[in-house]
Structure 1
Amino acid sequence: MNQTDGVVVIATMQAAEGKETQVEEALRAAVRAVHAEPGCERYALHRDPRSPSTFVMLEKWASGSALGAHGKGAALAELTAALDGLLAKPMDVQVLTPLPDGDPQRGAL
C-alpha cells in the first residue's frame, strides 16, 4: 500500500457479558479523542442491533502514515487500556485499501 493512499479500517469488538455499557463508554470517549488526530477522516461507532454486545468502528484515514500515527497515539493507547478485561475476545481489525468507483459520494467512504 502506498503511504499516500486512503485507508479504511473496520474494527469489531465484542463486549464481555454485562460489560456492554462500559465498552460503549470507552469507545465513545475514543471517538472524541481520535477526531482530533491528523489524517482522521472518519471514526464512527456503530452497534449491531442483532447482537447488542457487538460494536463496530468504521474508520477512514487520509493515508497509511496517518493510520500508523494513530496506532502509536495516545487515544488508541488509552482505549486499549480502558477495554482491558471488558472484551469477550480480541478486537478484530481489518485494514482495507479503497477501490472507489461510480459516483464519488456513493462509491467510497
Structure 2
Amino acid sequence: MKNALILAASVALAACSGKPVITGPYEVESLDMEHNVAAIKSGDLVLEVEFEGRFFKDGNGYTSWNDVEVKSVNDVKVYNEDGETEDYVLPSKEVSNIVQVIENEIAEKM
C-alpha cells in the first residue's frame, strides 16, 4: 500500500511538471552481458541501463542453476524519438522492476 501511494504521488507530481513518468511493461531490446548494458523499451521511450551484476551457472553434479544478481544500477539514459532526454521521472519502484526484467533476461540467456 505504501509503495502504491509513493508511486501515485510520483505520478501526480510528474503530471504537474509535465514530465513523462516511466512505467512498465518493459521489453529488453538488447543485452550486453560483457559490458553490463541493457536497452529496455518502455512505451515510446528506450532506456539504456548500465548496471553492476554478477551471474554464473553453478551446479552440484546432479543439478545446475543460474545465479543472477544485479547489484546496482549505475546510470540510466532515456531516449525518445528526438534523441537523449533528461525530461522524465523514473520512480524507484520502477527501477526495481527494471532490475527484475534484466535479471530474468540474463537468466534466460545463460
Normalising by the smaller structure, the TM-score range is under 0.3
TM-score, normalised by the number of residues in structure 1: 0.27
Query: Which structure's CA Rg is the greater one?
Result: 2
Larger strand share, 1 or 2: 2
